[in-house]
Chains A and B, each alone.
Chain A
């Protein structure tokens, strides 16, 4: 199984500041034939299902604000929120879909407003 190691477990960031969440896969999730990284990021607020933010490591889902961005390749990936808004307080998860048996998630990062 591909293990997704997410860090930090939690962080507190002031409004308007940058938030950075990291995810490291136990082996490469870059598929050479199409040069795509099979990583997605999700946001989950209390009492709600997860919401897709980023796929292919850096493609923003339609409707997601452009302050959210994804980067990285191979085994190391980052979700960045460039200017934190109050509504961004949530838990964020990374997900690898390179190996679909099983799909695996990071353990989540709880983002709070300082």
Chain B
């Protein structure tokens, strides 16, 4: 079955950097678009970034453009999120999310990892 396991979260000071990873298994990773969705403590869901199945296109939430970078390694079936210039408001649990359909331009979120917590604090 689909497994998405995030890692790399932790406590970082404002202005610092962090790289999240998501190890994927149980499906043909190279044919599915992938996303990062975050949830601040006690708050709702906020989509952060997406990358197409072949890595040819990326989209970002306006507030993270220029600071965050999504990437993938289809040979290692791993998704990444490089987060730079972190701010207090980036504090959240970050979920790795898989599209529902292969090679979709846009899609619903079929599978979610357990999440990794990022705390930005001085």
Contact = CB atoms under 8 A, between A and B. Distances in A.
A52 B112 CA distance: 9
A33 interface: no
Interface in A38-68: 38, 40, 42, 44, 49-52, 55-56, 61
A105 B95 contact: no
Contacts of A101: 50, 59-60
Nearest to B52: A100
A105 B100 contact: no
Contacts of A49: 95, 112-115
Size range of the chain B interface in the assembly: 20 to 34
B107 interface: yes
B61 A102 contact: yes
Given A97-B107, A100-B106, A105 B47 contact: yes
Nearest to A31: B106
B108 A95 contact: yes
Contact of A108 (B35, B44, B111): B44
27 contacts: A38-B108, A40-B108, A42-B45, A44-B45, A49-B112, A49-B115, A50-B95, A50-B112, A51-B112, A52-B111, A55-B108, A56-B108, A95-B109, A97-B106, A97-B108, A98-B106, A99-B106, A100-B59, A100-B106, A102-B47, A103-B35, A103-B106, A105-B44, A105-B45, A105-B46, A105-B47, A108-B44
Q: Which 8 A-B pairs have the closest CB atoms?
A: A100-B106, A49-B112, A40-B108, A103-B47, A55-B108, A101-B59, A105-B45, A108-B44
Interface of B: 35, 44-47, 50, 59-62, 95, 100, 105-115
